[in-house]
Amino acid sequence: VAEGISMGVGEYQSSKSYNEIIEAEKKKEKTHIKEIPQLEEKEITNIYMGKGFTEKEAKRIAKKIMANQSVWFQTIMSEEYGIGQRQESIIKNSTIMGVASFLGGFIPIIPYLFFDVVSALRVSIIFSALTLFIVGAGKTYYTKKNWFTSGIVMVMIAMLTALITYYIGQGFSIIFGI
């Protein structure tokens, strides 16, 4: 529960900060468009020259883009900063992160509610690996990668992380006599 709340709050802060940065950049660029359009034209020209257009072609593209202030602004934001116009909801992101962390933390504990410690550990590892595989395979709906490879990679990364944190805990146990 604590992890879920912590992760949700962390995601909220991260998303909020990211959105604030985007808003500051938008404000700055809108000011530049109004006050120093020649600099923005040069930036757009340089962007398109960097994409392989000749200087003449890039200037023509820049002029065409600058003819529509909305397109001009969107082009600067996406080409110069890599920022799209759509921003995710920070409440949605933080809720998803919190619930996912809660479920992710709860899944390995479920077997301990039904089995003895040794059996629960085995079932927990299998149950967790299966869940991680399903999540890894499921994300290929969006990534369009190989579902099997994605599932295996997700399991391997999580298990490696679990081993590392286990041995860090063992180290603290030895050092501090816990």
Structural contact between residues 137 and 147, judged by C-beta atoms closer than 8 angstroms: yes
One-letter amino acid of 79: E
Q: How far apart are CA 97 and CA 5, in angstroms?
A: 9
Q: How far apart are CA 124 and CA 122, in angstroms?
A: 5
- pLDDT at residue 85 above 60? no
pLDDT tens per residue across span 18-53: 777 788 888 888 998 899 999 989 999 999 999 999
Q: How far apart are CA 95 and CA 85, in angstroms?
A: 22
The pLDDT value given to residue 78: 87
Structural contact between residues 138 and 146, judged by C-beta atoms closer than 8 angstroms: no
- pLDDT at residue 4 above 70? no
Q: How far apart are CA 6 and CA 137, in angstroms?
A: 26
Vertex 69, ends 67 and 72: CA angle to 5°?
85
User: Mean pLDDT, the chain, as a whole number?
Assistant: 87
Query: Beta-carbon neighbour count of residue 93 at 10 Å?
Result: 18
pLDDT tens per residue across span 101-155: 888 888 899 999 999 999 999 999 999 999 999 988 998 988 888 999 999 999 9
| Overall pTM > 0.85 | no
